[in-house]
Chain A
Amino acid sequence: MSERKKVLIVDDDPDFAAGIRAILDTQYDTVVVHNPKDGWEALQKDRYDLLCLDIMMGRGAEGVMMARKIRKDKVLREMPVLIITGLREQIAFLFPGQAVHPGFVPVDELVEKPVEPDLLLQRAGALIAASEARQGR
């Protein structure tokens, strides 16, 4: 069996981050940080097989900024990004009942909060497998 894959979780809500971590810990090595700045530093220091990213953090939609920054980085763009967000609920204040525009965030997959553990593990596994296939590993 190959070594355990590494997953970075960036979410400002400690309760939600702990929940995601508990689910992903069953199959992956997880690291949790609570703001995009620490997240970016962690990505510079270490290599991760998957990034789970929240959208609404810090001063606004900083998860979106981080996803765009990652897509511009030659090395980091190879890493799959899974957005886990309550975006629709979070901005329902502004946009009641509307779907989030698919072209809005440059990520591989978007899962809405609250997330089912099985669905999360399935999506995470699929993204990591697809990324490995793409890189010919």
Chain B
Amino acid sequence: MVVAPTARRISFREEVENLLHAEEGVSLVRCIQCATCSAVCPAVEFMDHTPRELIALINAGMKDEVMASNTYWTCASCYACSEKCPEGIRPADVMYALTRYSLWKDTFNRDWVAPEFSRRFTRTILRTGKSYEPGYAPAFIFEGGFPGAVREMRMALRLLGKGRLPLIPSRIKRIGNLRAMVARVLPLDGIE
């Protein structure tokens, strides 16, 4: 989207579209509120606003409501919404854009699991080049209470039986190269 350099204050919708300017997809004004995105979303039951509502809130300029919503932190990034949208909007990209924005503006809720999980995931990737699921378990296993922990442990045992759960974290070769690439776009000071 190209905004002429004027003194006009941009709307919240334009603010969000500026976060998407290099992405594919069309402007959010094209949304017809058909709720196909909400219908196909596998995570919608955990969201305080459905994807359709979130787009409506953005188009209405309701920034505070949008920034306080857990919708984009709940997104499972399955991209079903982007595939199915009849207007060519890419709601999953909007979700990612808003997660970035809430990190940059520091508006995300620190009690939510998703931001903390993302932080641990990023650190693990930068240290070893690979995700190591057992490494996340101690921090999150009691999120679902005791029954949840039991469920998780049973799942872990089944995964272990199938050889799908590594017990020892592995590291990719030449991790230094990966770190050098990431360091081109983010300062790595303080990671380790």
| Interface residue ranges, A against B (CB under 8 Å) | 12-14, 18, 31-35, 37-38, 41-42, 56-62, 64, 86, 89-101, 104
Question: Can you list 6 A-B pairs, Cβ within 8 angstroms, ordered by A?
Answer: A35-B18, A37-B22, A56-B100, A56-B104, A58-B20, A97-B190
Let me know if A12 and B15 touch, CB within 8 A: yes
**Chain B interface residue count: which class?**
20 to 34
Let me know if A60 and B187 touch, CB within 8 A: no
Mark contacts of B116-136 with chain A using CB atoms, 8 A cut-off: 1 yes-contact digit, 0 otherwise. Answer: 000100110000000000000
User: In terms of DSSP, what is the predominant structure of the interface of chain B?
Assistant: loop
Number of A-B contacts (CB under 8 A): 87
Task: State the CA gap A57–B97 with chains docked (Å).
Answer: 10
Let me know if B3 and A38 touch, CB within 8 A: yes
In the complex, the 3 A-B pairs of residues with the closest C-beta atoms, listed nearest first = A98-B190, A95-B190, A35-B18
Known: A35-B18, A61-B185, A86-B104. A14 touches B122 (CB 8 A): no
**B181 within 8 A of partner (CB):** no
Which one of A32, A92, A100, A101 contacts B5 once the chains associate, using CB atoms below 8 Å?
A: A32
Known: A14-B10, A97-B190. A60 touches B103 (CB 8 A): no
Please name the residue on chain B nearest to A9 by beta carbon: B5
Contacts of B103 in A (CB 8 A): 90-91, 93
Task: State the CA gap A37–B22 with chains docked (Å).
Answer: 9
- Which of A18, A35, A90, A101: most chain B Cβ within 10 A? A35
**B162 within 8 A of partner (CB):** no
| Minimum distance in angstroms from B119 CB to a CB of chain A | 6
**B115 within 8 A of partner (CB):** yes
Let me know if A34 and B190 touch, CB within 8 A: no
| Minimum distance in angstroms from A24 CB to a CB of chain B | 13
Known: A41-B2, A60-B100, A93-B119. A34 touches B191 (CB 8 A): no
Contacts of B30 in A (CB 8 A): none
- Which of B15, B103, B104, B122: most chain A Cβ within 10 A? B104
Let me know if B115 and A93 touch, CB within 8 A: yes
Let me know if B191 and A59 touch, CB within 8 A: no
Let me know if B122 and A58 touch, CB within 8 A: no
Task: State the CA gap A109–B2 with chains docked (Å).
Answer: 28
| Minimum distance in angstroms from A91 CB to a CB of chain B | 7
